[in-house]
Structure 1
């Protein structure tokens, strides 16, 4: 399945089209409301002519009755039209947020590359909200244009010059408003980018707060955020200036236009071309037109900001997948044989290695970057630049990444815990029954016994209520409980004591017996529990042998594992 490649315009069109029922309903009700608003000064003018100038009390009461009905209609039209518009805006924003989360979690990856988590969060919140709000802008624009059209038609019936002034002057005002919104659109895009970057930096600093305090880097972190926030503030101020200039200029032009309409109407009344009631209607309509024209000015601003946000949303949604989809099927059943054939990627150089089904293999890398590159290739977060990897004879490149991960689980060293209970962080989504055994093998059963409420204990955001060693054991228990045919672990015990590490090594071997397991680590306790160890030195597999034999053979191995 290919990742869709939308543009900013596509995002806006889909946001409106996806809520077309509410947009249509809100537009109809809003149009009815504006038409009723335009009729109010007309009815007042009729009341003046019939009831005041002619002294017809019955006609005056009839007009007042009609006016009362119109006001009731205005009230209901505005209430339900606004409700439909707000509902459309919230639903459109919600659907965009869901689409963005789906793209970020897409098995093919890629959306997170080059973007801080906080920046992605800003796109999924503020930008999605602004794009969703375009539905309200659309129906408001339709309603305002309806009000202008009704007002112009009425003015044409009162006086052709007045009607023509409105019909010809309104498009000119809209065009000027569009031109004035261009600088706002550009500056809004910059403002949103800088704000998203500031959010990303803040989230990054908060996530690393303990590390910053530990190394005494608080002042440097504050200075970094102050500079980032200052850039964001400057961009926001520039955008606010552009918005104020746009709104102020449009408001001044609109006021001048309405003043000219009122002046021409007054001269026509003075010349006797229109009656007193018609003059009242014309002036009332001129004042009414301030509302629709002001709404159109607001709509122009909203559309400018929405276009900038839509471009940022489209940038995330259109990010190409890091790895392409394949069409091959997983072998059934998955035996767990892995073959790395001349894999070259980043620091890896023609890595060739065969892992037998059910084998517990250790991989000791003298360069941590090489270990990371190997893990990314095994997880198919990226494809090797040269060579390939096969699972039971099927090349990983030909598999759907999502299907592959049902067979191969790569548990990274920095696996995150979620703000939920201990049990929810360990139990697999399918509710498998191996949680107690997995916890025992990972030493997480001790964690459950030491926290206040056992498995029901909330671990807090990122598991911060637990120690580093406790978090590692919980993450390892989660990986074991997933019960994949192939499990790849990366340094799962760096934060635990030697006694616990020895217990975990024994538990891991017993729990994974008969299933393929690769442990990428330099821990002597874990490597001693493996069937054999592959030494990855200078990007190549230079030897494979049991742990004790590797210590005897290779100085590089002794340095990496025992120092």
Structure 2
């Protein structure tokens, strides 16, 4: 639960936009200057034509005509070069800023301390891609907005010098257009935010379905899964249609209002020329500006829409970037040795469980209820914040709440029963950091040697995403090899052999005991082979320790234990 104080301290989307602008202030300044020169040059072109016509009709000088053509060539050159270099600067800044936000969102998702975010991984992926790109657009939008404004102001001043009424008409028309479009731009922002949320939910649904694809095939749930995704995707489609309608209404309104303003300027200039209040050159300039001004007006009127879209995406990024950590880790380090103590822990199905594992002991935990095993593994893996459960977990004599995250991760590894397999090679899955010295021993202990020998590439055999080209038993042994290769002080294995045959399980149990000799090892399991290989077995029933001893002692003295683990 997020407290009101934490909620108030969260970073809003406007702060993210300000950060992006501040970080790219130099590039945006240069881009604004160059794009302003481009727009000024574009505006100067019809003004120059009007002056040329006026001057030529009065003086009819060949030299003046040549000079005018040279001036037009200079204007065209300025327009071309300023556009080329201005857009290069702005687009480079835009893509760089988008990259920065993508990396920052990804870094938040990969932090060892989870954040209090009610989002699935697929939603975070959308935020790290589409929302990051749209947020970075602010770097390009602001200079374009300013340069378009410069163009409109130059046109208004030029027309005002010809006749004050023309200049006032442009300014009043621009204000009216922006006033109308600002209402629609707010609607676009809220609609876009909702669209991104629905697209993210659809992405999260796809990620969930891909993760559970094998079980879905197993019990024939493919069609139901398809219908579930189709419903979520249809919601995203409907919202996309709504956004498209709003965007269409915005674009149509903007185009129509701009055309009305251009026609009004042209007609007013024609009437003034007919009445003799302005000259032919002023008329040419006015008509040219009326045609030209539609483009900067279009850009100028489009920019509020992109600002609102960037704001909506920034607000979604703030959900991740400003979310508080679920726990505040300490700064201490555990004493060397690797002893582990669970002292009266109450969480979920755990009802005051209490036991300790001396340094160097191989302890097996037989939990009669799967929920008890899952909750114990979650507590030991620090997936549950220390202040979220009663009791204390101590590592090396220090409470987990006092230890830094780095220290906990360095000394304890909890390997889940469903450990992820990544696209890459067997070697990169076993030793992701490339620093382990126990890769051969881990491969042998996990009985992964047959998989390595099966392929001529050996450990360099390519593994597909989520290990889709490996069997369930091969994936489980690969995950076990990765855990063993870390050679951590305290290793906790949760059901590491559920997908392997009985003969292989016997060998794996014996190998784990041998490889981990002298290192603290805890195995949460109901496997007779692993229970028999352990130095001591703790029995968890109804969330507390009900018995302990060796596997064979418990078989001889505890009938319930024998019925639970014998198979």
Question: Which TM bucket (shorter chain)?
Answer: over 0.9
Stretch of structure 1 that moved more, 180-189 or 15-24: 15-24
Q: Which residue of 1 aligns with 2:72?
A: 67
Instruction: For 2:255 and 2:406, locate their aligned partners in 1 and report how far apart those are by CA, in whole Å.
Output: 54
Q: Which residue of 2 aligns with 1:343?
A: 345
Stretch of structure 1 that moved more, 189-198 or 199-208: 199-208
Q: CA deviation at 1:53?
A: 4.4
Q: Which residue of 2 aligns with 1:330?
A: 333
1:207 maps to 2:201: no
Instruction: For 2:518 and 2:107, locate their aligned partners in 1 and report how far apart those are by CA, in whole Å.
Output: 35
1:517 maps to 2:538: no
Q: CA deviation at 1:268?
A: 2.0
Instruction: For 2:493 and 2:425, locate their aligned partners in 1 and report how far apart those are by CA, in whole Å.
Output: 23
CA 1:331 to 1:23, structure 2 compared with 1: closer, same or farther past 3 Å? Answer: same
Q: Which residue of 2 aligns with 1:414?
A: 418
Aligned Cα root-mean-square deviation (Å) = 1.8
1:278 maps to 2:279: no
Q: Which residue of 1 aligns with 2:3?
A: none
1:81 maps to 2:86: yes
Instruction: For 2:243 and 2:558, locate their aligned partners in 1 and report how far apart those are by CA, in whole Å.
Output: 63
Q: Which residue of 2 aligns with 1:146?
A: 150
Mapping of 1:149-168 within 5 angstroms? 149-168=153-172
Mapping of 1:277-316 within 5 angstroms? 277-316=281-320
Match of 1:266 among 249, 267, 270: 270
CA 1:331 to 1:222, structure 2 compared with 1: closer, same or farther past 3 Å? Answer: closer
Q: Which residue of 1 aligns with 2:459?
A: 455
State the aligned residue count: 559
Q: Which residue of 2 aligns with 1:179?
A: 183
Match of 1:240 among 235, 238, 244: 244
Report SS of the residue matched to 1:46.
helix
Q: CA deviation at 1:144?
A: 0.8
Q: Deviations over 1:229-268 (max 9, x none)?
A: 1111111111111111122122222221222222222222
Instruction: For 2:26 and 2:549, locate their aligned partners in 1 and report how far apart those are by CA, in whole Å.
Output: 68
Stretch of structure 1 that moved more, 548-557 or 205-214: 548-557
Instruction: For 1:439 and 1:67, locate their aligned partners in 2 and report how far apart those are by CA, in whole Å.
Output: 75
CA 1:556 to 1:128, structure 2 compared with 1: closer, same or farther past 3 Å? Answer: farther
Mapping of 1:526-541 within 5 angstroms? 526-541=530-545
Q: CA deviation at 1:520?
A: 0.9
Q: CA deviation at 1:447?
A: 1.7
TM norm structure 2: 0.95
Instruction: For 2:561 and 2:80, locate their aligned partners in 1 and report how far apart those are by CA, in whole Å.
Output: 81
CA 1:438 to 1:10, structure 2 compared with 1: closer, same or farther past 3 Å? Answer: same
Q: CA deviation at 1:487?
A: 0.8
Match of 2:253 among 240, 249, 255: 249
Stretch of structure 1 that moved more, 148-157 or 390-399: 148-157
Stretch of structure 1 that moved more, 445-454 or 490-499: 445-454
Stretch of structure 1 that moved more, 265-274 or 93-102: 265-274
CA 1:110 to 1:555, structure 2 compared with 1: closer, same or farther past 3 Å? Answer: farther
Q: Which residue of 1 aligns with 2:372?
A: 370
Instruction: For 1:369 and 1:157, locate their aligned partners in 2 and report how far apart those are by CA, in whole Å.
Output: 82
Report SS of the residue matched to 1:413.
coil
Match of 2:99 among 87, 90, 94: 94
Check the 8 A contact 2:334/2:407 in 1, yes or no.
Answer: no
CA 1:20 to 1:50, structure 2 compared with 1: closer, same or farther past 3 Å? Answer: same
Q: CA deviation at 1:172?
A: 3.1
Report SS of the residue matched to 2:156.
helix
Q: Which residue of 1 aligns with 2:437?
A: 433
Stretch of structure 1 that moved more, 301-310 or 96-105: 301-310
Instruction: For 2:559 and 2:313, locate their aligned partners in 1 and report how far apart those are by CA, in whole Å.
Output: 56
TM norm structure 1: 0.96
1:486 maps to 2:490: yes
